Amino acid sequence: MRGKFGVFQSADEACEAAHGAFLQLSEKGVAGRNKVIKIVKDLCDTKAEEWGKLELDETKIGRLDHKIEKLKGQRGIPGTEFLNPYGLSGDHGITLEEYAPFGVIGAVTPSTHSIPTMACNIISMAAAGNAAVFNSHPGAYKCAVAATRVFNQAIHRELGIENLACIVEPPTLESFNAIAKNEYVKLLCVTGGPGVVKAAMASGKRAVCAGPGNPPVLVDGTSCLDNAAKCVVFGAAYDNNLLCIGEKEVFVLEPFFDKFMAALEKNGAYRLNSGQIEALAKAAFVFPPGQGAGCPHPVVNRDLVGKDPEVLAKAAGATIPRGTQLLIGETKADHLFVEEEQMMPFLPIVRVKSVEEGVAASKRAEHGYKHSAIIHSHDVSNMTAMARELETTLFIKNGSCLAGLGAGGEGYSNFSIATTTGEGICNPRTFTRVRRCVMVDKLRIF
């Protein structure tokens, strides 16, 4: 097993090596975990430019400035401090519930943020005392392999542990199945679209599933429209709309529609006309035969996912000013751009006649993923109505989607948001087993 620094061609070898690393980490205590966390965070910081570029060169999706930010943002991922035990003290003595590790965790990461998801998974999993084996997206694994090697080399130098975060090269469906079946793997954590969530749930192992989203925004006109527009442009343009929490469609109350569109344009958006929107939609969605019942299901055209606004504009037949952050346009509520998680910097804006209509349309567009939703409002009743109706994991008021992950709002960050299985924004506790230790009648000091 020597000399691999976490990179394996065989999934079973990777799992076995990770198990060995888990045992080694257990010997190093909390101090060892803290060292791992510091190493991963420091490397993400110092190598942010290099790795951001590596990931963009491989995947060709997103924006370099945001790829760099996502790596530097690993500083905000919580560590061992999240594992405060729960203590009980009473007439019958003292009981402690502790957050213990699982062992080896099998993790799947998306193409949209390959190294950042892997890094925050390592931080959270190692904080809880675990080792990990990754199956990355086939279109985003080379950068993850490079980062894995560097993480493990640094961890080895400092702690003598060589394979704490392993990765299979190249990742395949077979390697995923082998990881899921391996006896050392006690838990899965998958981050991605519906396919991988389904596969993880069907594996028979317990799975933490960070699934797809299609976050709607409701603008009811009671709050500052300029702030709403600024937040929407920032969130929807971030990494060319690759974020699962990113604003994907906006519903605006009719009387405020024109003013809101103007505010979007003022804040860096470019408005497409209806002909241009339809030209873009034609290029953005494909209808592979054999999917859907009789009527083929639309699939987002991967060639346009995460591309720059200029590329989308070309497909739409529009010429846009330099520096345009986002394309926008008016559509109906049942437009493909509203219904599908497009992950590209075109944002459909829909007029609605009432808050009730806006909430209902938001709920339809969210498809029950229970992922993220956003409202711009100063009306507490409207906020409450939308939150109750959509039941999303993240519900952000008067901020961009990123405020939901601590950028501009309170809270810690993570790139795995366990929507489908309900653990919420992943943190070290997500990757623990709760174990209770009971001392009968003694140890209470009064």
Residue 368 contacts ligand NAD per CB under 6 A: no
Residue 196 contacts ligand NAD per CB under 6 A: yes
> Could you say which DSSP state residue 404 is in?
G
Residue 191 contacts ligand NAD per CB under 6 A: yes
Looking at the Cβ atoms of 44 and 159, the one nearer to ligand NAD is: 44
d(CA 350, CA 335): 9
**Binding range to ligand NAD, per CB under 6 A, among 45-53, 77-85, 110-118, 219-227:** 110-118
In the complex, the smallest distance separating the C-beta of residue 89 from ligand NAD, rounded to whole angstroms, is 38
**Binding range to ligand NAD, per CB under 6 A, among 68-76, 187-195, 352-360, 404-412:** 187-195
**Binding range to ligand NAD, per CB under 6 A, among 157-165, 209-217, 253-261, 438-446:** 209-217
Residue 173 contacts ligand NAD per CB under 6 A: yes
**Binding range to ligand NAD, per CB under 6 A, among 24-32, 37-45, 210-218, 352-360:** 210-218
Residue 205: name the closest of 176, 228, 227, 231 by CA.
Answer: 176
- Both tokens of 229, joined, read 């527009």
Q: Which residue is nearest to ligand NAD (CB)?
A: 192
Residue 195 contacts ligand NAD per CB under 6 A: yes
Q: How many residues bind ligand NAD (CB under 6 A)?
A: 26
**Binding range to ligand NAD, per CB under 6 A, among 8-16, 24-32, 37-45, 195-203:** 195-203
Looking at the Cβ atoms of 220 and 247, the one nearer to ligand NAD is: 247
Please report, for residues 33, 376, 402, 408, the alpha-carbon distance to residue 397 in angstroms, rounded to integers and kept in the order given: 36, 6, 11, 11
Residue 246 contacts ligand NAD per CB under 6 A: no
What values do phi and psi take at 203, rounded to 5? -75, -20
Asked whether 18 and 178 are in contact (CB, 8 A), the reply is: no
Alpha helix stretches (DSSP H) within 62-141: 64-72, 114-127
Residue 417 contacts ligand NAD per CB under 6 A: yes
Looking at the Cβ atoms of 109 and 267, the one nearer to ligand NAD is: 109
Residue ranges of E strands in 314-443? 326-330, 346-352, 372-376, 394-397, 417-418, 424-425, 432-440
Looking at the Cβ atoms of 70 and 397, the one nearer to ligand NAD is: 70
Residue 212: name the closest of 248, 250, 244 by CA.
Answer: 244
Please report, for residues 141, 142, 165, 176, 264, the alpha-carbon distance to residue 168 in angstroms, rounded to integers and kept in the order given: 9, 10, 10, 9, 44
Asked whether 152 and 162 are in contact (CB, 8 A), the reply is: yes
Task: List interacting residues with ligand NAD (CB under 6 A).
Answer: 108-112, 136-138, 173, 176, 191-193, 195-196, 199, 210-213, 244, 341, 415-417, 419
